[in-house]
Amino acid sequence: MKKKQKRKSRKAEVRIPFPNVLAMVLVCVAASGLSYVWLCARCDTLGDEIRRLESVRRTVRQQSIAEQDRWSNMLAPANFERALRHHRLAMTLPDERQVVRVRRGSGEQGLKLAYNK
């Protein structure tokens, strides 16, 4: 019995020391691996965000063009006239006799007209 215990304890005493350098290397590799994985995940997240923003930009552009299109349609002379009729508004361009023309270069006279207003 004693012999057996002695052999066991001798066995336990024989320890192969784990090299510090290797440990550091392994830690570094593990850290690099984790960093790599984290960076990859971060890149993918950012990529997804960029793709989402690209999609948003496209949608906003499309909406902007659609609005321009609608606005342009509303401003079509025929539609404009229809809208005026709908609201019972009668608008005509002024007759030549109703137009007061202030010419450029009329100097004092032009200014006086402006002040009198």
Partner 1 sequence: MNYKGRTILASVLIAAVFAGLGVRLAFLHLRPSASTLARIEKGRHMEEETRGPRGRILDRGGNILAVDIAARHLCADPKFILENGDIQQVCEAVTKVVPLSRSEVWKLLDQPERQYVRINKYMREKTLEPLMAMKLKGVIFEETSMRNYPKGALGAHVIGFSNREGVGSAGAEQRMNSYLQGTTGLRVSQKDGRRHEIYSRRTVDIEPQSGADVYLTIDQQVQHFAERALDELVEQYHPQGAWAIVQNVRTGEILAMASLPTYNPNCYGAAPAEWMRNRTMSYGYEPGSVMKAMIVASALDAGAVTPRDVFDCENGRWMYGGRALHDSHGEGLLSVADIIKKSSNIGAAKIALQMGNEKVYQSLRSFGFGSRTGMDLPGEEAGILWPVSNWSKISITRLAMGHEINVTALQMLSALSAIANDGIRMRPYMVQKVVDPGGETIFETLPSELNRPIRADTAKTMRRLLARVTQPGGTGTKAAVRGYPVAGKTGTAQKVRPKEEGGGYYDHKYVASFAGFLPVENPAISIIVVADDPQGAHYGGTVCGPAFQRIADQTVRYLRISPQGFPTEYVSEIEE
Q: Least distance from C-beta 31 to partner 1, angstroms?
A: 22
Pair 103, 95: CB distance under 8 Å = no
| Total chain residues near partner 1 (CB under 8 A) | 29
53 binds partner 1 (CB under 8 A): no
17 binds partner 1 (CB under 8 A): no
Give the range of 1-9, 18-26, 64-72, 108-116 binding partner 1 by CB under 8 A: 64-72
35 binds partner 1 (CB under 8 A): no
Give the range of 7-15, 26-34, 44-52, 83-91 binding partner 1 by CB under 8 A: 44-52
**Inter-axis angle of helices 77-86 and 20-74, to 10 degrees?**
70
**Residue 91, C-beta contacts closer than 8 angstroms, at least 6 positions apart:** 84
93 binds partner 1 (CB under 8 A): yes
Residue ranges in contact with partner 1 by CB under 8 A: 40, 43-44, 46-48, 50-51, 62, 65-66, 68-70, 72-73, 75-78, 93-97, 99, 101, 103-104
